[in-house]
Structure 1
Amino acid sequence: MFPLGAVLLPGEPLSLQIFEPRYVALVRDCMDGRREPEFGVVLIERGHEVGGGDVRTEVGTLARITEVMELPGSRFRLRCQGTERLRIDRWLPDAPYPQAEAELWPDGAADDDTAQLATLRDRAARLHDLTAQFARRNGIRRPPPSASLDDLPTDPTTRSFDLAARLPLGPTDRQAALTAPDSTTRLHCLTTALDDAIAMMEFRLL
């Protein structure tokens, strides 16, 4: 397991610089040819990535190593891809790196999401307009670009995770999307997160 200060969603890329001895050992074990080159990623709720002693979430994502470069000084550079969601059953001792008993956690059945997608697009456009207005008011010449919500996957689960990755969300909202039991609930979480961001931006523009 690799606890991080960020949320990895299924389908997302992940780049890592590995230098801490315990994670160097993790990479070497993953690449020993006796198992799949993958590890679990969970969000650190409290604490830090380096040194241990952190508090971790119970839901994460399986990360498959797609490219590894060994660097001088017992360091690695990794490129990974988030694949499937997982749920922690029990944390094991960190010996020599974080380990857990976990199981894959597939999504439940999804409802038709046509109306939810339309609402989500409206909320995303509203947030971008407010953000651009705020940027202009504060002399920022180039407001952040709007998230493209076109060319979405056809599978409801994949689509909902893709939307969560594209939208301007913080770690708490991304983790809420990851832990939603199905894509319908996930889209509701994303809409609520955008509503909260819109309300905050409207308050800042008063």
Structure 2
Amino acid sequence: MKHITDLPDTIPIFPLPGALLLPRARLPLHIFEPRYLQMVEDCMKTPARLIGMIQPRELPANHAGGAPRLHAIGCAGRLTGFSETEDGRYMVTLAGVSRFRLRGEVEGKTPYRCARVDWHGFDRDQGGVEQDRSFDRAAFMDLLHRFFVSLDLSTDWESLSEADEELLINSLSMLCPFSPEDRQALLEAPTLITRRETMVTLIEFALRGGSDEEMMQ
């Protein structure tokens, strides 16, 4: 288990809309842009082998170009899987280590973006598996089944029914077709219980046929 004092103050960051990584979860990535190919190569040379996944903020209609602004909170993953295709692309896996708060970017040293980050406030991420003792699995699975049917999605229901609460909630947070802003809300949920409650709200809202504008009213 990594402690805050063991984690670097500066890490490479990968701004990817809609991509969500959570602590103790795994995120497969397909890397093909030259700058991110270099990021992976540089990452493998470091002791921590960390890459920070972070979402860009939605661009305003009058955005004039340049690097998009980023959300304040992301999640760093340790590069644990790597393979290379014949045409030079990388297939990598990140294992979620801890969320972080963005403190500022380091300019000009690499073709990819790097950031100064703060790990404080996310001690829970670096502890043991979280429990959700108020979790009503039967009710949740019924809601999830209705959600998947409404979207014509299929899944391995047996595996889902047997997964522990953290694996189930975090995997669904990463895999379900939520909007980037909804994924950010799931990332920023302080506890597993809060994340599950947020997900239930999002699913119930989707089943009612609501829109983002209605949700904000």
TM-score of the superposed pair, with normalisation by structure 1: 0.70
Q: Distance in 1 between matches of 2:38 and 2:147?
A: 47
Higher mean displacement: 163-172 or 57-66: 163-172
Instruction: Kindly indicate whether the alpha-carbon contact (under 8 Å) linking 1:11 and 1:162 is maintained by their aligned counterparts in 2.
Output: no
Q: Could you list the runs of 5+ residues in structure 1 that have no partner in the other structure?
A: 136-142, 202-206
How far 1:112 sits from its partner (Å)? 8.1
**RMSD in angstroms over aligned alpha carbons?**
3.4
| Identity %, equivalent residues | 27
Residue matched to 2:73: 59
Partner SS for 2:190: coil
Give yes or no for contact 2:104–2:117 (8 Å, CA) kept in 1. Answer: yes
Measure, in 2, the Cα distance between the counterparts of 1:2 and 1:182: 24
Deviations 1:176-206, CA, capped at 9 Å, x for gaps: 11101222322221221122112118xxxxx
Matches within 5 A, 1:125-144: 125-126=142-143, 128-129=145-146, 132=149, 143-144=152-153
Q: Which 5+ residue runs of structure 2 have no aligned equivalent?
A: 1-12, 60-64, 211-217
The C-alpha deviation readout for 1:49-88, integer Å capped at 9, x for no partner, is xx96122212111121122234566643322222322221
Partner Cα distance (2:185, 2:138) in 1: 19
Residue in structure 1 matching 2:124, options 94, 107, 117:
107
Q: Which amino acid aligns with 1:24?
A: L
Aligned residues: 184
1:198 to 195, 201, 207: 207
- Listed one character per residue, the Cα deviations across residues 68-122 of structure 1 (whole Å, up to 9, x for unaligned) are 23456664332222232222122222531111111332339xx98444x22x752
Match of 2:90 in 1: 76
Q: TM-score normalized by structure 2? A: 0.67
Post-superposition Cα deviations, 1:129-170, rounded to whole Å, max 9, x if no partner, equal: 3663x57xxxxxxx323674423336xx66643453465533
CA contact (8 A) 2:76 2:98 kept: yes
8 Å CA contact 2:131, 2:192 repeated in 1:
no
The DSSP-based 3-state class of the residue aligned with 2:164 is coil
Q: Which has the higher strand share?
A: 1
One-letter amino acid matched to 1:196 = F
